Structure 1
Amino acid sequence: MVESDCLRVVVREYDDEKDCKEVVELERRCEVGPSAKLCLFTDLLGDPLCRIRNCPSFLMLVAETEVGQGGKKEIVGIVRGCIKTATCGKKLPRNPTSPYSHRPIYTKLAYILGLRVSPSHRRMKIGLKLVQKIEEWFRQKGAEYAYMATESDNKASVNLFTKKCAYSKFRTPSILVQPVFAHNVRVDKRVRVIKLTPLEAESLYTRRFSTTEFFPRDIGSILNNKLNLGTFLAINSNEEWAGLGRFLSSPTMSWAVMSVWNCKDVYTLEVKGASMVRRGFCKTSRLLDRALPWLKLPSVPDLFRPFGFHFLYGLGGNGPLAVKLTKALCGFAHNLAKEYGCGVVATEVSGNEPLMLGIPHWKKLSCADLWCIKRLLEDYSDGDVGDWTKSEPGLSIFVDPREL
């Protein structure tokens, strides 16, 4: 094996015309799931940029090295980065009694995703070089902070960012995954689900969630994206609905909201490494569920072939029945995912999220996540929020579906 000090690696911008096939093949060779569980592999549907194309500003870099005497070049690593403006705190209210008196504090925030290094070229500092190069681009674009997400038990990734790249462990959200059964999930008839227009959804999110950490300032772009399948508001069926304007000025006692993002049209996943016994059990559960749908058996979809999923984001709510209403929305989302032929529905929430109790999920498919953060521009004024990297976590976070 070539020593890292002798290996000549060039990091350059991705070229869609000449690099696409090789990058997709590299992606398929690299594990992207929790190492302690079944490994998830991603199929990018032939477009390595599909995970970042919807972001306001993005870049993809490749690490390339020469192979053999003929000067043939091989791509051995990739990284993606995107930049947006997002909430990092909130200003103190002038009128503490007003629910809308808090104002968000925004920062220019960069995100690192899709860092991959070929299995045959790991431990050669290629990942480090890719991160350093993408950070240079972040600084040139004026990003104040950069963050990344990884599985909490991925020691190699955590060590790279915290020990070699000076990132700090910041937030520990949970990825919650629910399989899509062969039967529809029953949605409580006492719950009314209202589909909001993108403009209505933008008004609701801006009024009620703009001070939540990581809330994107361009929320309208997300809600109007073709991958967004809609924003849904749940209230008790006996509550009067007089339109969003009335709701914003005088909300019902309890309510919940969420949006659905169609990841199925972006990339697919596939579970690898399952035993024949487990595969057989899962297949039997599906056959029984289809034959006896009235029993509502918790069947396991075929996750051992490429499958798509829907991502639930923007979850929020208020009132004593908010958890119950959230559960109803998740049931509604499950049935929508079944219509689209998805294998699972997934979401990501803060570890402190009060509504987590209303989100159905299987522990076998779910996992703990870790977000690490770094301040890139030290000469920024601390302003109202101070150094965000040292702030205490809030109850909720806003997970941007464009960064999955």
Structure 2
Amino acid sequence: MAAAEGSHEVVVVREYDRKTDRRAVEEVEEMCQVGRTGNGKHRLSLHTHLLGDPMSRLRNSPASRMLVAEMAADGGARRQVVGMIRGCIKTVASPMFAKLAYILGLRVSPSHRRMGVGAKLVRGMEEWFRQNGAEYSYIATENDNRPSVNLFTKKCGYSKFRTPAILVHPVFAHRVRVDAGAAVIRLGSADAEALYRRRFSSTTEFFPRDIDAVLNNKLSLGTFLAVPKGSTPYDSAESWPGPDEFLAARPESWAVLSVWNCMEVFRLEVRGASRVIKALARTTRLLDRAFPWLHLPSVPEVFRPFGLHFLYGLGGEGPGAAALIRALCWFSHNLAMDGGCSVVATEVSCGEPLRLGIPHWKRLSCAEDLWCIKRLGDDYGDGSVGDWTKSPPGLSIFVDPRDI
């Protein structure tokens, strides 16, 4: 229990209770923006609308917990939830496998910031991480979110680790043409798992050991492989030979990705847009729906709660891999359009060669997301854990869709 500076209130951090805390947590979530888009004076804010219980974003993680910060006053007679934090633990490649904890969804009510609430929530979550054997903890935040960066790097002992790019593309009202020279094959989850494990587990940072659980999750809409037409004797799922034969005699260029349906867990909403911006966006949609054959770019309805499809597991090789990834992204765009989604997004390492093939709108994207990491083993002083925090970045990272 810690006293809030300059007051007689105290902050109590405890485990989330669905029966008593749900409404209060939803109110704090509603007040807090989760990101920003645009630039200059046209800065817009991004907000989350959870579907179902606030724990819903953690349901798909192997081990998870949620804590709330409660402000108590008048001897404890008045209590108010002023913040919350979510966390999960999993085993990932670093490239050696390590037990990694992830902090997701730290929120503090705007009226109770700069009072030590955020730091107390982080410390409470880290204690649970250690009790469950986590070797590292990491957090993703905006590179220009100074209060968040200062909290983790100056107060909580985290160091700046990776700066991946979040690439976002709107879903138009028309279908996008997929390169006719690319054959897109849908893989079964067992074949997708084998392909991912054999090609990426030892070369891709943050690769989850339980990739099978990710691919078999009901939110995973499938894994898709692209190869140049005519480069192989197969161009459909029916003629697919399986991962062993594919890897033994793979074409010069190929690419793969999987799709995750975030809109079943949460919706996003852009706020702060002027009437002029909203009117212009509405006009683009009207034109796109009226003349779909013109393939006009349009801004979807993002000023109300909208759905997101997340592309994960992007990989491939060969001189034509970037072009094949582009074909898979357009294929995923059409899948999202059919599913009523407004946005398709992915996150890749800043050095990812395939990044050049990913279509995105710069205004909607984030060139440098910031991942901060902390070696929890340092606190034990036993030297039993290798220091991943000092390793140079690799070309590729695996962004687990369960962490979105």
> TM-score under structure 2 normalisation?
0.93
- Residues 157 and 4 of structure 1: is their aligned pair in 2 closer, same or farther, counting only changes over 3 Å? farther
- Which residue is equivalent to 2:237? none
Equivalent positions of 1:61-140 (< 5 A) are 61-66=67-72, 71-89=77-95, 105-140=96-131
- Which residue is equivalent to 1:93? none
- Residues 43 and 67 of structure 1: is their aligned pair in 2 closer, same or farther, counting only changes over 3 Å? farther
- Whether 2:14 is the aligned partner of 1:12: answer yes
- Which residue is equivalent to 2:369? 369
Take 2:122 and 2:209, find their aligned partners in 1: how far apart are those partners? 25
After TM superposition, give the deviation of residue 16 of structure 1 in Å.
1.2
Q: Is the 8 A contact 2:152 2:372 kept in 1?
A: yes
After TM superposition, give the deviation of residue 288 of structure 1 in Å.
0.4
Structure 2 alignment gaps of length 5 or more: 235-239
Take 1:123 and 1:403, find their aligned partners in 2: how far apart are those partners? 26
- Which residue is equivalent to 2:159? 168
SS at match of 2:92: strand
- Residues 209 and 381 of structure 1: is their aligned pair in 2 closer, same or farther, counting only changes over 3 Å? farther
After TM superposition, give the deviation of residue 181 of structure 1 in Å.
0.3
Take 1:149 and 1:246, find their aligned partners in 2: how far apart are those partners? 38
Q: Is the 8 A contact 1:4 1:125 kept in 2?
A: no
- Which residue is equivalent to 2:178? 187
2:208 aligned to 216, 231, 255, which one? 216
- Which residue is equivalent to 1:333? 332
Take 1:197 and 1:83, find their aligned partners in 2: how far apart are those partners? 27
In the TM superposition, what whole-angstrom CA distance separates every residue of 1:335-380 from its partner, at most 9, and x where no partner exists?
Answer: 0000111110000000001001110000110012000000001346
Which ranges of 4 or more aligned residues in structure 1 deviate by more than 3 Å?
Answer: 2-6, 67-70, 379-383
In the TM superposition, what whole-angstrom CA distance separates every residue of 1:371-397 from its partner, at most 9, and x where no partner exists?
Answer: 0000001346567xx410000000010
RMSD: 1.4
Take 1:24 and 1:208, find their aligned partners in 2: how far apart are those partners? 41
For 1:124, the aligned partner's letter is M
2:24 aligned to 22, 25, 29, which one? 22
After TM superposition, give the deviation of residue 34 of structure 1 in Å.
2.4
> TM-score under structure 1 normalisation?
0.93
In the TM superposition, what whole-angstrom CA distance separates every residue of 1:265-312 from its partner, at most 9, and x where no partner exists?
Answer: 000000000011100000000000111111111100010000001000
- Whether 2:395 is the aligned partner of 1:395: answer yes
1:48 aligned to 32, 54, 76, which one? 54
After TM superposition, give the deviation of residue 67 of structure 1 in Å.
5.0
Range with bigger deviation, 121-130 or 45-54: 45-54
In the TM superposition, what whole-angstrom CA distance separates every residue of 1:184-215 from its partner, at most 9, and x where no partner exists?
Answer: 11001111110011101000000001021000
SS at match of 2:330: helix
- Which residue is equivalent to 2:249? 250
SS at match of 2:247: helix
- Which residue is equivalent to 2:143? 152
Take 1:68 and 1:312, find their aligned partners in 2: how far apart are those partners? 49
Structure 1 alignment gaps of length 5 or more: 90-104
SS at match of 1:80: strand
- Whether 2:34 is the aligned partner of 1:32: answer yes
- Which residue is equivalent to 1:280? 279
After TM superposition, give the deviation of residue 22 of structure 1 in Å.
1.2
In the TM superposition, what whole-angstrom CA distance separates every residue of 1:73-106 from its partner, at most 9, and x where no partner exists?
Answer: 11001000100000112xxxxxxxxxxxxxxx10
Take 1:147 and 1:133, find their aligned partners in 2: how far apart are those partners? 15
Q: Is the 8 A contact 2:101 2:129 kept in 1?
A: yes
Take 1:315 and 1:354, find their aligned partners in 2: how far apart are those partners? 11
SS at match of 1:34: strand
- Which residue is equivalent to 1:101? none
For 1:377, the aligned partner's letter is G
Q: Is the 8 A contact 2:24 2:81 kept in 1?
A: yes
1:229 aligned to 214, 217, 221, which one? 221
- Residues 248 and 5 of structure 1: is their aligned pair in 2 closer, same or farther, counting only changes over 3 Å? farther
SS at match of 2:34: coil
SS at match of 2:377: coil
- Which residue is equivalent to 1:358? 357
SS at match of 2:36: coil
Q: Is the 8 A contact 1:34 1:154 kept in 2?
A: no
